[in-house]
Structures are given as structure tokens and as C-alpha cells.
Amino acid sequence: MENILEKLKKGNERFIKGVSINPNQSLDRCKETSKGQNPFAVVLTCSDSRTPPEIIFDAGIGDLFVIRLAGNVLTNEAIASIEYATAHLGVEQVIILGHTNCGAVKAAVETNMSQQGTNLSEYLKTLVDKIDPNLIIEGKDVDKSVVKSTDNLIATSASELKNILNKLIVNNSINVTGAKYNIETGEVVFLG
């Protein structure tokens, strides 16, 4: 069987080159997967409309188990969803997929820099609070802070998730990998 990361990388290469094969995107695939799912990877990514995993990895229906939350934050609900996919569906590859110019990370950076957190609704504050420990503030440079904070959030979430899954799933062989999607070029760079 082809290595899952290689499969994702090849799909992204096809997407970047404009030669996507759009696999498993037919009504027949809908009928096939109606009997059950067998995704080959879990992707925790941002809710940003510019980051559709099935498209950027040239995958189709039933191929990816996708969890989307603003800032690709690792909430209890996200962890439960990932646990379900790994423990009950047998998925062995998890990707924490952040992206360039993330609005959620930028909001956390700007809130931190301006100390204006009290102006946030309780819901946005919850999101910012999940991102806040991962911030790397570079003076007054918002853009540089967003880049470094995004990378740190991806790496920290991947590490934290791997530790959590090791405790939850006995004899697991789950691979957790961080990646960053460039919304301008379409390229996914796998980290570490």
C-alpha cells in the first residue's frame, strides 16, 4: 500500500500543477460509501473557505475524515472526532493542517497586541484563548507574528494530539503530522 503521506503529497502536486484527477467524486462512489466509510487520513483544518482538504489533496468522497474549526484548534470535540476515526475506522494518519494568513490566528495576535480581549464575545474569546498559548509575538509586526504563531500552533497541536492518542488507543500506530497550506500557491508543506 502506498504511504499515506506520499499519497497526500502526490495529490497536492497534481492540484498545484492543475492536473487533478478528482478521484472518487461520482454518484457511484456515493452509493459505495453509503454502506460504510474507510477514509485513509484524518485532517483537522481551519474552517476558512479557502482550505478545502479534498480539493487541495485531490481526494474524493470517503477518502478523508475532515474536521474543520477556525484556527484548526484542538478542542475536546475535535479530539473526540479524531479518536473516533482512529479507534473505530482504523485511520492511522492524522494531519493538523494550518494555513497562511489565518484570520483566527491573526485575531488572536491582534487581541494579544492590543490587549482588547474584553471586546470579544464569549465564543470568540474561547477560540482566541485556545490559540493564545501558541502565540509568538514579534514586536509590533503582526504579519511576522501570525506566521510564527501559525507554525507554533500546528507543531504544538500535533505534539499534544500524539500524546493524547497514545493514552487513548492501546497499541496504536497513529502518525500525527503537522502541515501548512499556502492559500496563494496551493502548496502544502509538511512540517517535521
- Domains belonging to the chain, first-starting first, are 4-191 (3.40.1050.10)
Tell me the average pLDDT across 28-40: 94
Q: What percent of the chain has pLDDT over 90?
A: 83
**Distance between CA 16 and CA 14 in Å, rounded?**
6
In tens, the pLDDT along 47-98 reads 999 999 999 999 999 999 999 999 999 999 999 999 999 989 999 999 999 9
Residue 170, pLDDT > 90, answer no
Sign of CA dihedral 117, 75, 38, 175: positive
Which pLDDT value is given to residue 96?
Answer: 98
User: Cβ(82)–Cβ(67) under 8 Å?
Assistant: yes
What the block records as the C-alpha cell of 5 is 503521506
Span 33-40, average pLDDT: 95
Q: How far apart are CA 161 and CA 22, in angstroms?
A: 30
Model pLDDT, residue 103: 94
pTM, entire model? 0.93
The residues, any chain, with a CB within 8 Å of residue 136's CB and separated by 6 or more, are 145, 148, 149, 152
With CA atoms as reference, report the closest residue to 181 among 24, 9, 62.
Answer: 9
